[in-house]
Structure 1
Amino acid sequence: MAKEFIVAIELGSSKITGVAGKKNLDGSITILAVAKEDSTQYIRKGVVYNIDKTVVSLTSIVKKLETALKTKIAHVYVGVGGQSIRSVKNVIVKDLPADTIVTQTMINELMDANRNMTYPEQEILDATIQEYKVDNQYQLDPVGIQCNRLEGNFLNILWRKAYYRNLNKCLETAGLAIADLYIAPLALADSVLTETEKRGGCMLVDLGADTTTVSVYFKNILRHLSVIPLGSNNITKDIASLQVDEARAEEMKLKYASAFTPNDDIDNTLTYPIDQDRNVESRKFIDIVEARVEEIVENVCAQVPNEYSDKLLGGIILTGGGSNLKNIERAFTNRTHIGKIRTAKFVSEPVNSNHADITSHDGTMNTILGLLIKGDMNCAGSEITNDLFEAGTQKPAAPLTDIHQKPRTITETAGSGVVLTEAEKQKAEEEERRRRLEEEEARRRAEAEEEERIAREKRENSVWHKAWGVLKKFGKDVISEE
């Protein structure tokens, strides 16, 4: 089997998905293995709630992939997403002496100051630079410009600390070494959006099972990111209010549901079968579905910041499993009056596969494929053999410190969508503590030296010190004359 491949894992609200693929010389990707586990019992709104059950599924995913690959998996790429992810704007201002030329060090200091911001129970996953304000002008690269005031505008992407700890606990307990943690919505955007859409301004809407993620781009920069706790499962639950189990409600949604139906197309005599004994009128069914779709669309539109509401020249891009709902584009057009709407059924990169989940091109695999495309590190470990004597000598997955020999800094990963690993964060915190101690020690030495200088000047300027100096000079003169 192939000795070079990349493995990505996505922890979704409806399923955990693992994909192994190989990047070819022509830029395409060949899918080698796909594994899935139902996650509805322990992941809600994209967040891990039951660590033990999640660990069991992760272990099962890895075993399935290893069996198909006949090779151990050394490490994996994982996406971070789900409820509570949100973006917050932050401004850091630095007043400078007159006619100061901006240096890269000054920019790094602004970025560090932004990263040191604290939010109650929130963790900064990444910080995207919006622009810099040099005196009264906005610049993307202010280095080398002369100014008296430097202002950095940042977009901080936050996640609840408890969720981050739960995810890391699951991965650690499952024995998975992490090549990289990526912010899943950013990886998805890179794989389905065009440069023209990002530059002109667009809104990416990922309609998932339990959540809907909204990403707004303008001038190739992420301007807003939020996750709405509403998804296609809410439509299923509303249909289930007809006193039908959720499995049947899901079947009815997939078969009959439409996000929008014109009044002229509604047949008041038509009914849909619920079970052998009951039916529901088509108009009632339509009202149930459209009410929930309208709520989702209304909440999505409310996420667009006012300053970008008229700048979405790239339009709206829909993706995810919920984007397969009939007439979903029409539902968004009616509410937003934006005519430029498309559905991204698949990633833009060429992918070769015979697996049904990949070839269906229904938008459900876009995020996991986006994570796979981001990966650039060989995830293959040792070959699996049937030799009982070699079975006990296979090397375990490489520990985290071995994967990243030189832990990356916050500055290096800023705006890339990469979430620093737990080991890197600990290393960064240790370096930050050491830097602060060194700065404190340097400050104390400088203060002590300044105090000593002031004391020395006081002694030299005192009356007794001057009188003693005169006497010493007089004594030297007398001795020299003798």
Structure 2
Amino acid sequence: MAAKDFIVAIELGSSKVTGIAGKKNLDGSISVLAVVKEDSSSFIRKGVVYNINQTVQCVSNIVKKLSAALKSEIAQVYVGVGGQSIRSEKNVIGKDLLGDTIVTQEMVNELMDTNRNMSYPEQEILDAATQEYKVDNQLQLDPVGIQCSRLEGNFLNILWRKTFYRNLNKCFDTAGIAIAEMYLAPLALADSVLSDSEKRSGCVLVDLGADTTTVSVYYKNILRHLAVIPLGGNNITKDIASLQMDDENAEKMKLKYGNAYTDNNEIDNTLMFPIDADRSIESRKFIEIVEGRLQEIIENVWYQVPAEYADRLLGGIILTGGGSNMKNIDMAFRNHTHIEKIRIAKFVTQTINSNNNDINAHNGMMNTVLGILAKGDMNCAGEEYSEHSDLFGADKPKPAAGMQGGTHVQQRNNEGVVLTEAEKLKIEEMRRKAAEEAARKESEPEVKPKDDADKEKKGMKPHVTKLKNWFRSLVSEDE
């Protein structure tokens, strides 16, 4: 029987693209209906689309397989945005007010719009997280209703290279797959693995992926910093592969013998790890290779933590992602950062019902796509699916990617939502038309209503009659 009500989420990772369909239950839990994975190592690098055609084929296959499993076409999907070059940058927008003006919501919205319209060379603003507002010399989370003579908004803009942003949008547009909403994957992940207490008291979320490591810093329930480091578990694998072996065997050695931290006194100098039938490597040398690269990753993670929050991390460091499964990974972070409170988030906080082995493994590798799925609140089901028919309906126009039903752009204020390129173009067109209309009205002379003009004529008539009579009297006297 075809599923009639479900949500679909897609995560484009460096090693695989994952598609998942699930249904939200009345008790708040999520039932996973289908999971599909496809290898992406040849066309997605460090979380970024590099080969558009192969990515289009991949996401089309994902949607088709999910549709077959659900026996229903998929009308739209939720997409996570992440990968190399995503970074945050602080920005301050100020406005001087006359006298003791009371701050209104319109003033706050104006600051937010001004910040959103900021231009960065080769960078696209994906999202803007409000930090605080400065009302004269006082910091406030909500300044509305307060008297002041100057209002400042402190924002954290999340940036991504325009090329990467456009490539991602183009893939779904070319595939004819409508995007219900795009979410910043690191923020969706944070909402699913961090507790309110951790966000409030200050914490660092570290997502250790295959090609990248994402660092998110929270304090007082606000995102304070976000960065993606172009280093991940695959770098360790490549270092091991330098011992003259292929990547597949290097990955197996990493998983079997890899250790994030080994006490020097516990290293057995006589122990050898086999590389193949004829070769082996000393355990100490293998440990140095693994720990050397991991140390570099940890140093880069800690470098991303702003100095003003480094001593405020009462919530500690939370590790997740595939790399968090390495033995003693918490000890390695503790030794370098001197943060004692370290937690490994193996699974999301939501209740998930599933028969899928990858999800039930609880190894942190499905946390991001589950976080995106949990964000969804719109039905993604389409018509009943038939494997013999065109997946997207050959006789139906393809909906524009990023548009709900291809016609509507939502106004969104929730943190983490990324406007698609189609939505941005729609909003820019609406603003352009509004500006043109305002300019036209300003340039046109004021046209008085016909009734007012008639009244004006009638009001002038007695004066005109008197003037005519005066001229006639003058003429008659001359004669």
Provide the TM-score with structure 2 as the length reference: 0.89
Alpha-carbon deviation of 1:387? 8.1
The residue number in structure 2 matching 1:430 is 429
CA distance in 2, matches of 1:167, 1:392: 23
Query: Residues 393 and 50 of structure 1: is their aligned pair in 2 closer, same or farther, counting only changes over 3 Å?
Result: closer
Alpha-carbon deviation of 1:437? 3.3
Provide the secondary structure at the position in 2 that maps to 1:376: coil
Query: Residues 68 and 136 of structure 1: is their aligned pair in 2 closer, same or farther, counting only changes over 3 Å?
Result: same
The residue number in structure 1 matching 2:272 is 271
Query: Residues 387 and 445 of structure 1: is their aligned pair in 2 closer, same or farther, counting only changes over 3 Å?
Result: closer
Provide the TM-score with structure 1 as the length reference: 0.89
Alpha-carbon deviation of 1:445? 7.4
The residue number in structure 1 matching 2:415 is 416
CA distance in 2, matches of 1:424, 1:230: 32
Bigger Cα displacement from structure 2, 276-285 vs 436-445: 436-445
Query: Residues 443 and 201 of structure 1: is their aligned pair in 2 closer, same or farther, counting only changes over 3 Å?
Result: farther
- Opposite residue 302 of structure 2, the aligned amino acid is C
1:205 and 2:206 correspond: yes
Query: Residues 390 and 349 of structure 1: is their aligned pair in 2 closer, same or farther, counting only changes over 3 Å?
Result: closer
Question: What are the equivalent positions in structure 2 for 1:120-131 lying under 5 Å apart?
Answer: 120-131=121-132
* Cα deviation code 1:112-150 (max 9, x no counterpart): 111111000100011110000000000011011100000
- Opposite residue 311 of structure 2, the aligned amino acid is D
The residue number in structure 2 matching 1:368 is 369
CA distance in 2, matches of 1:444, 1:317: 59
* Cα deviation code 1:81-130 (max 9, x no counterpart): 00010000000010010111111111111011111110001000111100
> Is the contact between residue 224 and residue 304 of structure 1 (CA under 8 Å) also seen in structure 2?
yes
> Is the contact between residue 126 and residue 419 of structure 1 (CA under 8 Å) also seen in structure 2?
yes
* Cα deviation code 1:415-473 (max 9, x no counterpart): 52111122321121112223433555566679x9xxxxxxxxxxxxxxxxxxxxxxx9x
Query: Residues 445 and 15 of structure 1: is their aligned pair in 2 closer, same or farther, counting only changes over 3 Å?
Result: same
Question: What are the equivalent positions in structure 2 for 1:456-471 lying under 5 Å apart?
Answer: none
Provide the secondary structure at the position in 1 that maps to 2:335: helix
CA distance in 1, matches of 2:63, 2:359: 19
CA distance in 2, matches of 1:407, 1:389: 27
The residue number in structure 2 matching 1:469 is none
> Is the contact between residue 81 and residue 185 of structure 1 (CA under 8 Å) also seen in structure 2?
yes
Provide the secondary structure at the position in 1 that maps to 2:285: helix
> Is the contact between residue 94 and residue 150 of structure 1 (CA under 8 Å) also seen in structure 2?
yes
CA distance in 2, matches of 1:318, 1:390: 39
CA distance in 2, matches of 1:375, 1:395: 25
Query: Residues 440 and 306 of structure 1: is their aligned pair in 2 closer, same or farther, counting only changes over 3 Å?
Result: farther
The residue number in structure 2 matching 1:159 is 160
Provide the secondary structure at the position in 2 that maps to 1:163: helix
Alpha-carbon deviation of 1:157? 0.3
The residue number in structure 2 matching 1:144 is 145
Query: Residues 16 and 135 of structure 1: is their aligned pair in 2 closer, same or farther, counting only changes over 3 Å?
Result: same
The residue number in structure 2 matching 1:9 is 10
Question: What are the equivalent positions in structure 2 for 1:445-460 lying under 5 Å apart?
Answer: none
Query: Residues 404 and 188 of structure 1: is their aligned pair in 2 closer, same or farther, counting only changes over 3 Å?
Result: farther
> Is the contact between residue 16 and residue 38 of structure 2 (CA under 8 Å) also seen in structure 1?
yes
CA distance in 1, matches of 2:394, 2:264: 69
Q: Percent of pairs identical after alignment?
A: 68
- Opposite residue 419 of structure 2, the aligned amino acid is L
Query: Residues 220 and 404 of structure 1: is their aligned pair in 2 closer, same or farther, counting only changes over 3 Å?
Result: farther
CA distance in 2, matches of 1:170, 1:316: 35
- Opposite residue 266 of structure 1, the aligned amino acid is I
CA distance in 2, matches of 1:323, 1:397: 41
Provide the secondary structure at the position in 2 that maps to 1:52: helix
- Opposite residue 419 of structure 1, the aligned amino acid is V
Q: Provide the aligned C-alpha RMSD in A.
A: 2.4
> Is the contact between residue 7 and residue 19 of structure 1 (CA under 8 Å) also seen in structure 2?
yes
Alpha-carbon deviation of 1:55? 1.0
> Is the contact between residue 382 and residue 394 of structure 1 (CA under 8 Å) also seen in structure 2?
no
Query: Residues 64 and 102 of structure 1: is their aligned pair in 2 closer, same or farther, counting only changes over 3 Å?
Result: same
> Is the contact between residue 111 and residue 153 of structure 2 (CA under 8 Å) also seen in structure 1?
yes
Query: Residues 165 and 87 of structure 1: is their aligned pair in 2 closer, same or farther, counting only changes over 3 Å?
Result: same
> Is the contact between residue 187 and residue 371 of structure 1 (CA under 8 Å) also seen in structure 2?
yes
Give unmatched runs, 5+ long, in structure 1: 449-471
The residue number in structure 2 matching 1:403 is 405
Query: Residues 317 and 386 of structure 1: is their aligned pair in 2 closer, same or farther, counting only changes over 3 Å?
Result: closer
> Is the contact between residue 385 and residue 391 of structure 1 (CA under 8 Å) also seen in structure 2?
no
Provide the secondary structure at the position in 2 that maps to 1:143: coil
CA distance in 2, matches of 1:285, 1:143: 59
Query: Residues 120 and 386 of structure 1: is their aligned pair in 2 closer, same or farther, counting only changes over 3 Å?
Result: closer
CA distance in 2, matches of 1:259, 1:391: 47
> Is the contact between residue 173 and residue 400 of structure 2 (CA under 8 Å) also seen in structure 1?
no
**Larger helix fraction of residues:** 1
- Opposite residue 157 of structure 1, the aligned amino acid is I
Query: Residues 387 and 418 of structure 1: is their aligned pair in 2 closer, same or farther, counting only changes over 3 Å?
Result: closer
Provide the secondary structure at the position in 2 that maps to 1:172: helix
> Is the contact between residue 56 and residue 174 of structure 1 (CA under 8 Å) also seen in structure 2?
yes
- Opposite residue 107 of structure 1, the aligned amino acid is V
Provide the secondary structure at the position in 1 that maps to 2:374: helix
Alpha-carbon deviation of 1:202? 0.4
> Is the contact between residue 64 and residue 391 of structure 2 (CA under 8 Å) also seen in structure 1?
no
Query: Residues 187 and 404 of structure 1: is their aligned pair in 2 closer, same or farther, counting only changes over 3 Å?
Result: farther
The residue number in structure 2 matching 1:52 is 53
Alpha-carbon deviation of 1:204? 0.2
1:291 and 2:262 correspond: no
CA distance in 2, matches of 1:404, 1:218: 38
1:248 and 2:249 correspond: yes
Give unmatched runs, 5+ long, in structure 2: 447-466
> Is the contact between residue 180 and residue 404 of structure 2 (CA under 8 Å) also seen in structure 1?
no
Query: Residues 204 and 137 of structure 1: is their aligned pair in 2 closer, same or farther, counting only changes over 3 Å?
Result: same
- Opposite residue 223 of structure 1, the aligned amino acid is R
- Opposite residue 382 of structure 1, the aligned amino acid is E
Bigger Cα displacement from structure 2, 61-70 vs 12-21: 61-70
* Cα deviation code 1:322-381 (max 9, x no counterpart): 000110000000011111000000000010111111010000000000000000111111
The residue number in structure 1 matching 2:463 is none
The residue number in structure 1 matching 2:176 is 175
- Opposite residue 135 of structure 2, the aligned amino acid is V
Alpha-carbon deviation of 1:174? 1.3
Provide the secondary structure at the position in 2 that maps to 1:58: helix
Provide the secondary structure at the position in 1 that maps to 2:359: helix
Query: Residues 228 and 194 of structure 1: is their aligned pair in 2 closer, same or farther, counting only changes over 3 Å?
Result: same
CA distance in 2, matches of 1:125, 1:144: 30
> Is the contact between residue 74 and residue 398 of structure 1 (CA under 8 Å) also seen in structure 2?
no
The residue number in structure 1 matching 2:134 is 133
CA distance in 1, matches of 2:301, 2:388: 55
> Is the contact between residue 201 and residue 219 of structure 1 (CA under 8 Å) also seen in structure 2?
yes
Alpha-carbon deviation of 1:66? 1.2
